[in-house]
Structure 1
Amino acid sequence: MPSLDPFISRTHIAYFSMEIAVRPEMHTYAGGLGILAGDTARSCADLEIPVVFVTLLSRAGYFRQIIDAEGRQTEEPDWWEPERWCTPLNAMVAVEIERKPVWIRPWLYIHTCPHGHQVPILLLDTDLDQNDRDDRALTHHLYGGDDSYRLKQEIILGIGGIRVLRAFGFDLHTYHLNEGHAALLTLDLLNRWRIPAEDLIAEEPPYDVAEVRARCVFTTHTPVDAGHDRFSYELFERLLPGFVELDVLKSLAGADRLNMTRLALNLAGFVNGVARSHAETTGHMFPGYRIHAITNGVHAETWTHAAFAQLYTRYFPQWRHEPELLVRALQLSDDEVWRCHVSAKGDLVRHVKEATGVALDPHALILGFARRMTGYKRPLLLFEDLDRLIGLTERRPLQVVLAGKAHPQDGDGKDAIRQLHVIARRLQGKVTCVFLPNYDMQVAKMLVAGSDVWLNTPLPPLEASGTSGMKAAFNGVLNLSVLDGWWIEACIEGVTGWSIGHGDDDRRHAADLYDRLDNAVLPLYYEEPARWRTMMKQAIGNIAYYFNSQRMMRRYATEAYLR
């Protein structure tokens, strides 16, 4: 039976994330944050970095997306069976919430990389006989419920998670917070490093803050103000009465509300954004902090279509461990690269037919767009001027495949999905436009590999990094994106893809998008296939070689973990 024992003595780093995409059958992720955490775990195993991962079990998942005939999204729980993939460990810890113990039991999932190295992933569960009905449900719904439910989840992740690790005997020197959801673990560390009263200097807080900072790494992911969790101090005091001195907490987390990002910023010795531009944006949002930049990456083997993986293995046998070898992609044969792309595109065409009944033309250009459906991602930008879109498509065929979920409480995001369905019906017979429901890891793998062009249209500077376009590049798919996040670093105009960047509003960005499609993308695809295939190889050689999670984790190891 799987056990934690082999990992305890050799593991010195803990990585906390509210969500993690371990495998498609485990519904423990909602989107990019969880996908990144999963790729981090896979690369830690590949590189033998001694990390244990901590997350919530999320039995009911994020949600299963149901789209009705009018394009309206509704949500259902997305239950999965932990016992199929994980092992319950015979240990429990308790966290006092509202003056009563809430018991937590971890489940163990072990990820094994191709050469056999393993990393443990602990999934925290409160669905136990020892808890009352409400507390049993605290680890069911990812990002569900009201503020009270969410703060209780963050108590379980941060405080419960660190106590689970301590109970098993891990000797940890670094705690990596993937976003602010686990920031309360810093308060547990403060209590552990409380200064004896006789050693206190007047006016000094009763904690060794320097010791806590020396142990904590914080990666912030969002430049969107609403994305930073905030809770009232009244709620905090009700759930965790007397856990830390309130005046100390306010000095660390904000005077008016408990800001989890600010708490993490003040108690982490290393803080980073997830792209160079995001680090700058974060510095403007939170002046006075040193924000490093470690640009995200994606796991090479996970996101590369089988046909491309075979091709890379033939020419670059060590590419999985050293994706930087893909810098030699220009050596690849145009015909072989195109054959791999045709295989990936065929898989996507078949899936679209099975899922929606729409038959895509495998010879016509497919534009892919898939991400969380929310305002700043601007999913409707491509459809700003339908007459212009129809006109350019009459000259050269264009097919659009869309996917994405809106948070259940994001009314604007849900309305965007409805509008996309209305637009698709209006375009019927003129522009093929299809929406794939219930976007998940499996759908994402097909879309990023099978599209010809990957579209991203965030409102700058609100894209922290973005990783879907990186995955596309591993499959020779060209990016067409607003210059924001990672794409500022990766875009070589007309070489690795194309930028959308003229103007500063939706109308001007839409006009620039149509210009790029009409004057560069579509003519190149249909009229200069040799140049298109060269660009595919340039995308692999200039993007995949660098924007991967092996490079990302080597940087975390040397810059953040070995301070």
Structure 2
Amino acid sequence: MRAIRRFTVRTVLPEALAPLDILARNLRWCWHAPTTRFFESLDPAAWDRVHGDPIALLGEIGTERFAQLAADASVVDRARELAEDLDRYMKEPRWYQSGFAAPGKPKAIAYFSAEFGITAVLPQYSGGLGILAGDHLKSASDLGVPIVGVGLLYESGYFRQSLSRDGYQRETYPLIDPNNMPLTLLREWDGTPARVSLPLPGERTLNAQVWVAEVGRVPLLLLDSSIPDNDPVSRNVTDRLYGGSKEHRMEQELLLGVGGVKALRLYSRLTGAPAPSVYHCNEGHAGFLAVERLRELMEGEEHLDLGTAIEAVRSGTLFTTHTPVPAGIDRFDRGLVTRYLDAMPLPGVPTEEVVALGNESYEGGDPSVFNMAVLGLRMARRANGVAKLHGRVSRQMFASLWAGFDVDEVPITSVTNGVHGPTWRAPAFQEMAERYLPAPEIESGGGWLTPAENGGVPDDVLWATRRELRERLVASARRRVRSSWLERGASPAELGWVDNVLDPDVLTIGFARRVPTYKRLTLMLDDPERLTRLLTDPERPIQIVVAGKSHPDDEPGVGLIQRLVQFTDDPRVRERIVFLPDYDIAMAQTLMPGCDVWLNNPLRPLEASGTSGMKCALNGALNLSILDGWWDEMYDGANGWAIPTADGVEDPQRRDRIEASALYDLIEGTVAPRFYDRDGRGIPRRWMEMMRHTLSDLGPKVQATRMVRDYVERLYVPVSDAHDVLDVPGHEAARSLASWKAKVRSQWGEVRVDYVEAHLPDVAQIGDSAEITAQVSLGALSPQDVTVEVLAGRVGADDEIHDFSTTELPPVDAVGEGRWVFRGSEALEVAGPFGLAVRVVPRNPLMAAPTELGLVAVAAPSTVTSEQHTSFGD
């Protein structure tokens, strides 16, 4: 009979071993190897049974064994030492407290995400977004950045993946018990569970309790609706990640955003933690946090009006977009959103005005749709993509929100993702590095180029360590393949071949990620016979390890997995290519270090960033990737290979054929020969050069500590500074800005450039200047409300100005009836075809950028006169 609830009965720890509970409940153990090794040493067999879960381990060890451990002075002393080390880690000043000096740096930063991938023990993630969020928190902890995470606690996580006999993905949703996880329930002073609640349509109320995970120094608040206070439907709001109907997703995102802000307030009240001055919305799922913060200000003592409240909320909000794929953005029916927000109205404000914040009310948009990314962008002071290329793609993708501005001016910057080194660098690789290199040199990358005779890592040691990692992957893959086939219904007697799956001395290529169609899981199968020849080459064979999950509702993605699995089942290749089901953090920590080459072949430019290849690079693996995401900016010709792309080919099948052929050519003609080209000691010298270069060049760049420092310096501090001006008691600046924006919006229809005079030399040369005079009508606005700019730069055949610079024209005279003359000069500093344009944009020192209102008035060609028509030359 199936249990209706699963839980663990734990032995009471002897007093001498009380530090074990402290060590198990702080998730720092998942990236602190000494703590992990200590837990494993308590009972290696039990540690293996519980899959490396310290909380489960403490429930697995019996009273008699604990008594033996408590009597062992070395065990007791080691537990105390590790607990003291953790205490120092939690309290000592780190980069943020001592190495980073910035006036007014935020005292607290709230980081909202729908998923967090911290450890396989806490299965609250589906893929890259969650792993990135987990690495963000871990690196913030290591740097001492005062972040508090906010998410949901999913009763079944994402899903467990297995395969049917014919290779079809099957999903199961095992229940988890938060009482048996490294979580602590947030409680009121009287000991009762702390609760948040929010009203829903139909006079329903959604209640949630709050669990706290300690991620080193960073608290992570996870809201859980599976409590008796709720009706059966509401209990299931946090049942699983990315599941259910549109209404279910709407309730999840309201709980994450609205409930998340309430949970922050609870946490501050009960712990004394400072209120955040930065609210980082990691993707659009948490966008409704802005609605709750509006409510707080409008229902508070000052009773702010909507316009003032919007300026105050925007001032402290950062929005990060992670998808260049429109289908990846949450979009809800406008009527559905209206119905839910009607249940939690803002005082004195029609719900339609709140819904308008997320409407696609722009050219090309769908006015019947509420877009969570649009809400995030409209309610954020700053916004960013997650790689340089993704920033460019995002500016193009959302350009309609800032119609009239050049795409490059769209206010979306980028911070390239990174990965948490201590989590993703294999312990064996780290230990080898520490034997030969000081820790600072490992992190900076410089030590990898140190010759062996000067204390660097010898080639034979580095190559032997890489083989050890490959050997561990092979052993793990064989266990997983056997287990998978048994689940698929095979008899043990049929599986003798599994003992020969993969070879620790064969070039190993890895491919593992979520499986939407644009990531092209099966591009490698475009020519099955050619791939078969590569896999079975008698001189230079390759082997491929593949893993990944597809969302259960993504039928094309599920079909790709089935096609790949059916290919791996072929007896001709099944010892050289495997699909490992149920991809998770635990698998990744063996798979990625064990690969020699990491393959990534998305449809460019649809990969926002990707971080799996970064994790491989930290272990000396080389990347073989389409120039997309992070690889587009970090590939340098010596740290891996770039797969040529067929950009511009519209036929998707032809494009796939071209790029698959390029992939085969690279593997056959370059990658495999370089791997197998050995010297007399069996070492591939050219491969080692690339490996060392990768470690020294990419090692520092791909670290999440670099990423978090970028967020702090480039985004968190500026956002916090704006918050400290616009969202402070009295809100004078926010009132002023809201009033000014209302005035500008009402008058902008009167703003126009009446005419422009350009006085040019007969023959323009570099170093000359163009004298520009513009007469501008401003209606009831004043010159202090606007900036009149000259845009200048090279022009193409279409007369578009590319890479333009801007120069402000100051006002020089009023000519009556709201008309003003502006005059200035533009230096001619670029040879060749050159162009000028004039425009008017709003100006207010309280705005983040002139683009903030999305308003611009541009001079029409008919308004321009020139004293001399001339070509621009040297």
**TM bucket, shorter chain:** over 0.9
Question: CA 1:24 to 1:188, structure 2 compared with 1: closer, same or farther past 3 Å?
Answer: same
Which of residues 490, 499, 503 in structure 1 aligns to 2:646? 503
**Counterpart contact for 2:341–2:351, Cα < 8 Å:** no
> What are the within-5 Å matches in structure 2 for residues 342-421 of structure 1?
342-357=467-482, 358=498, 359-393=501-535, 394=537, 395-421=539-565
The Cα shift of 1:16 comes to 0.5
Sequence identity (%): 40
**Counterpart contact for 1:390–1:431, Cα < 8 Å:** no
**Counterpart contact for 1:61–1:142, Cα < 8 Å:** yes
Which of residues 134, 139, 144 in structure 1 aligns to 2:243? 144
The Cα shift of 1:430 comes to 7.9
2:665 maps to 515
Find the residue that maps to 1:545 and give its secondary structure: helix
Which of residues 415, 425, 447 in structure 2 aligns to 1:328? 447
The reply to whether residue 433 of structure 1 matches residue 537 of structure 2 is no
Of stretches 24-33 and 204-213 in structure 1, the one that deviates more from structure 2 is 204-213
Could you tell me how far apart the structure 1 residues matched to 2:254 and 2:263 are? Answer: 13
Could you tell me how far apart the structure 2 residues matched to 1:557 and 1:27 are? Answer: 28
1:233 maps to 334
Could you tell me how far apart the structure 2 residues matched to 1:217 and 1:315 are? Answer: 42
In the alignment, structure 1 segments of 5+ residues that lack a partner are: 113-117
1:97 maps to 200
Could you tell me how far apart the structure 1 residues matched to 2:223 and 2:328 are? Answer: 23
Q: Which amino acid aligns with 2:199?
A: E
1:471 maps to 615
**Counterpart contact for 2:257–2:287, Cα < 8 Å:** yes
Could you tell me how far apart the structure 1 residues matched to 2:175 and 2:463 are? Answer: 39
Listed one character per residue, the Cα deviations across residues 339-360 of structure 1 (whole Å, up to 9, x for unaligned) are 2211211110100111114321
RMSD: 2.3
Higher relative contact order (CA 8 A, sep 6+): 1
The Cα shift of 1:431 comes to 6.9
1:313 maps to 434
> What are the within-5 Å matches in structure 2 for residues 33-432 of structure 1?
33-84=129-180, 85-90=182-187, 91-98=194-201, 99-112=203-216, 118-169=217-268, 170-194=274-298, 206-241=307-342, 243-244=345-346, 245-254=350-359, 255-287=367-399, 288=402, 289-319=410-440, 324-331=443-450, 332-357=457-482, 358=498, 359-393=501-535, 394=537, 395-426=539-570, 428-429=572-573, 432=576
Listed one character per residue, the Cα deviations across residues 195-230 of structure 1 (whole Å, up to 9, x for unaligned) are 999999xxx954432211111011110001111001
**Counterpart contact for 2:425–2:618, Cα < 8 Å:** yes
The Cα shift of 1:429 comes to 4.3
Could you tell me how far apart the structure 1 residues matched to 2:175 and 2:436 are? Answer: 42
Find the residue that maps to 2:150 and give its secondary structure: strand
1:115 maps to none
**Counterpart contact for 2:107–2:277, Cα < 8 Å:** no
Question: CA 1:316 to 1:294, structure 2 compared with 1: closer, same or farther past 3 Å?
Answer: farther
Could you tell me how far apart the structure 1 residues matched to 2:135 and 2:525 are? Answer: 33
The Cα shift of 1:425 comes to 2.7
**Counterpart contact for 2:254–2:288, Cα < 8 Å:** yes
Could you tell me how far apart the structure 2 residues matched to 1:506 and 1:466 are? Answer: 20
Q: Which amino acid aligns with 2:158?
A: Y
Question: CA 1:225 to 1:429, structure 2 compared with 1: closer, same or farther past 3 Å?
Answer: closer
In the alignment, structure 2 segments of 5+ residues that lack a partner are: 1-20, 27-89, 92-105, 188-193, 269-273, 360-366, 403-409, 451-456, 483-497, 648-654, 679-683, 719-874
Could you tell me how far apart the structure 2 residues matched to 1:323 and 1:37 are? Answer: 24
Could you tell me how far apart the structure 2 residues matched to 1:164 and 1:195 are? Answer: 18
Question: CA 1:92 to 1:195, structure 2 compared with 1: closer, same or farther past 3 Å?
Answer: closer
Of stretches 226-235 and 308-317 in structure 1, the one that deviates more from structure 2 is 308-317
The Cα shift of 1:240 comes to 2.7
**Counterpart contact for 2:221–2:263, Cα < 8 Å:** no
TM-score, normalised with respect to structure 1: 0.93
Could you tell me how far apart the structure 1 residues matched to 2:505 and 2:716 are? Answer: 48
Q: Post-superposition, which runs of at least 4 consecutive aligned residues in structure 1 deviate over 6 A?
A: 1-4, 195-200
Could you tell me how far apart the structure 1 residues matched to 2:231 and 2:503 are? Answer: 55
Q: Which amino acid aligns with 2:427?
A: A
Could you tell me how far apart the structure 2 residues matched to 1:355 and 1:397 are? Answer: 22
Listed one character per residue, the Cα deviations across residues 411-464 of structure 1 (whole Å, up to 9, x for unaligned) are 001000110112123362487211000000011111110011100010011000
Find the residue that maps to 2:641 and give its secondary structure: strand
**Counterpart contact for 1:380–1:416, Cα < 8 Å:** yes
2:796 maps to none
TM-score, normalised with respect to structure 2: 0.61
**Counterpart contact for 1:106–1:124, Cα < 8 Å:** yes
Could you tell me how far apart the structure 1 residues matched to 2:315 and 2:533 are? Answer: 59
**Counterpart contact for 1:179–1:220, Cα < 8 Å:** yes
2:691 maps to 536
| Higher Rg of the two aligned structures | 2
